[in-house]
A = this chain, B = another copy of it.
Amino acid sequence: MKKFAVVLSGSGVFDGAEIHEATLSLLAIAKAGAEYEIFAPDIAQHHVINHITGEVMNETRNVLIESARIARGKINPLSAFNAASFDAILFPGGFGVAKNLCSMAVDGSNCNVNKEVEKAVSAMYKEKKPIGALCIAPALIARIIEGVKVTIGQDESTAATIQAMGGTHVNTTHGEVIEDKANRVFTTPCYMLDATVLDIYNGATNIVNAIMDSMK
């Protein structure tokens, strides 16, 4: 049975992992007959956002502890990730990717990447194992793997950031998956487009199935 590592960045689209993308990624993996383990870095969130008003809340939360809400407590610190134990790695989106897993939301194309995230992606890349990313997460992968071909949908500003990091951006619409065969990187836009939960279901299903097909 193929095994995915799913890396979360909190719980909630504006300061963490996008909840529908995360949940529907887990569902897609299970539907494909594969299994998963969930990881997140044990670090403070960049900030906490009130998801109604969009304003910063005066509190602190931990990325691993909040990600555990999506994982129902079954989660490991990303420091424990071992590439040898997994067949693929998958990053759901959400602003947490650009705020907690790297500093892209603040620093753009010159952003820093969390060391554990960089290590996990680089280890999978070195072993030529598939790397999947939804929504904004493809930009994170483009910062780690030089010259990768990805999609984040059609957002011109984010596409420009990807190009500035040396990546190639391909415009896509709902549910489409871009496969960079040479680098074994799979990406799909999800909520980087104006999407519904049904679009996310299709996107998560398509990217997981594309990854599974590539391992046949």
Contacts and interface: CB of A to CB of B under 8 A. Distances in A.
Contacts of A196: 30
Contacts of A30: 196-198
Q: Which of A16, A26, A64 has the most CB of B within 10 A?
A: A26
Contact of A52 (B51, B68, B198): B68
A3 to B, nearest CB: 15
Main secondary structure of the interface of A (DSSP, over half): helix
Contact of A23 (B14, B24, B54): B24
Interface string A34-64: 0000000000000000111010000100001
A115 interface: no
A210 to B, nearest CB: 20
A50 B30 CA distance: 26
A135 interface: no
Nearest to A29: B197
Given A23-B23, A27-B201, A13 B69 contact: yes
A31 interface: yes
Interface of A: 11-14, 16, 18-20, 23-24, 26-27, 30-31, 50-52, 54, 59, 64-65, 68-73, 75, 191, 196-198, 201
